[in-house]
């Protein structure tokens, strides 16, 4: 269920499976290059890992607990005090990040104010996020589509899987991720315009949260979808071709703005309740801004 109608330029003339796969394959080389540039601009390592555990790096000293093995004592540190101390090392187990983007028809929209469609920007962010994750020594995969990868060619592997999926499926890409098997403490990054029923969005996050997963949901939007700069006689179309003719488009601005605000608030509330961060990103802004929001959202949880 979409928030409302979108301008005609959001509609692709051919929604067939063949066209979708060819179009995606045509766009991917440029998107891959953009993703690599974006990934290189953010610091490696996307998840906060600073806690005690198995590893080689020093973490902290803590008092010795009666009953522990004597070999755990750090005698050099203990010699400077009247107490016994244990040297703890930093936890270094590789973490997991699953990425997913909405590639449904509503994501094909691009106004004159933005250089990218919402779909292209979402793909760049997801691929860059996966690449930065692997650079940080972690593993990444596409939620519900691929296994986890830890190789330097993770971007190419994910891109190939997406094209293959576009060729095989008879249905359009879903606007929310399908059920997928994930493990506790893994991270998920969801990127889309989320022009869906807020209850469906909440149900998706609830399903992930029930599996012990946390992450970040990034709502991508074109700037005109927020400012609604339409006036006079205007025709609006949604992705199915349904049409709304407005004699004075400006009369819809206040109602639309309030509905958008309420929808975003509902999504943000759902995300917080399910252990997810929620962030916004306009496609006329640099992709690196969104990557930093995603990283901060993933680390915060």
The answer to whether residue 178 scores a pLDDT higher than 80 is yes
Element (H, E) at 254: helix 253-273
The DSSP secondary-structure symbol of 108 reads G
- 11 neighbors 110 (Cβ within 8 angstroms): no
Q: What is the residue-averaged pLDDT of the chain?
A: 83
Domain boundaries, the chain: 6-49+93-300, 58-89
pLDDT digits (tens, 9 = 90+) for 279-292: 999 999 999 999 98
Lowest mean pLDDT among 98-102, 171-175, 274-278: 171-175
What is the token pair recorded at 110?
Answer: 């691009």
Is pLDDT at 142 greater than 80 in this prediction? yes
Query: What's the rounded Cα separation, in Å, for the pair 38 and 122?
Result: 12
Distance CA 232, CA 262 (A): 26
pLDDT digits (tens, 9 = 90+) for 131-140: 998 988 889 9
* 130 within 8 A of 158, measured Cβ to Cβ: yes
């Amino acid at each position: 269920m979409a928030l409302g109608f979108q301008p005609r330029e959001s509609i692709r003339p051919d929604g067939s499976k063949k066209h979708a796969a060819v179009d995606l394959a045509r766009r991917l080389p440029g998107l891959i290059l953009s993703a690599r540039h974006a990934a290189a601009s953010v610091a490696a390592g996307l998840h906060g890992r600073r806690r005690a555990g198995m590893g080689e790096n020093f973490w902290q000293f803590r008092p010795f607990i009666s009953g522990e093995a004597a070999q755990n004592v750090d005698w050099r540190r203990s010699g400077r005090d009247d107490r016994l101390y244990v040297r703890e090392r930093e936890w270094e187990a590789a973490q997991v990040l699953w990425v997913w983007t909405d590639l449904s028809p509503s994501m094909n929209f691009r106004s004159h104010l933005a250089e990218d469609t919402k779909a292209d920007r979402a793909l760049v962010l997801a691929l860059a996020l996966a690449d930065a994750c692997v650079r940080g020594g972690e593993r990444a995969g596409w939620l519900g589509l691929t296994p986890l990868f830890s190789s330097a060619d993770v971007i190419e592997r994910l891109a190939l899987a997406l094209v293959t999926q576009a060729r095989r499926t008879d249905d359009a890409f879903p606007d929310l991720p399908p059920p997928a098997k994930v493990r506790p403490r893994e991270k998920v990054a969801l990127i889309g315009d989320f022009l869906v029923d807020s209850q469906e969005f909440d149900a998706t996050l609830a399903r992930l949260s029930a599996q012990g997963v946390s992450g970040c949901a990034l709502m991508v939007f074109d700037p005109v979808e927020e400012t609604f700069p339409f006036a006079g006689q205007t025709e609006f179309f949604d992705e199915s071709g349904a049409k709304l003719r407005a004699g004075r488009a400006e009369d819809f601005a206040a109602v639309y703005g309030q509905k958008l605000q309420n929808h975003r608030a509902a999504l943000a509330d759902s995300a917080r309740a399910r252990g997810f961060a929620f962030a916004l990103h306009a496609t006329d802004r640099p992709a690196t801004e969104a990557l930093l929001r995603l990283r901060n959202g993933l680390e915060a949880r």
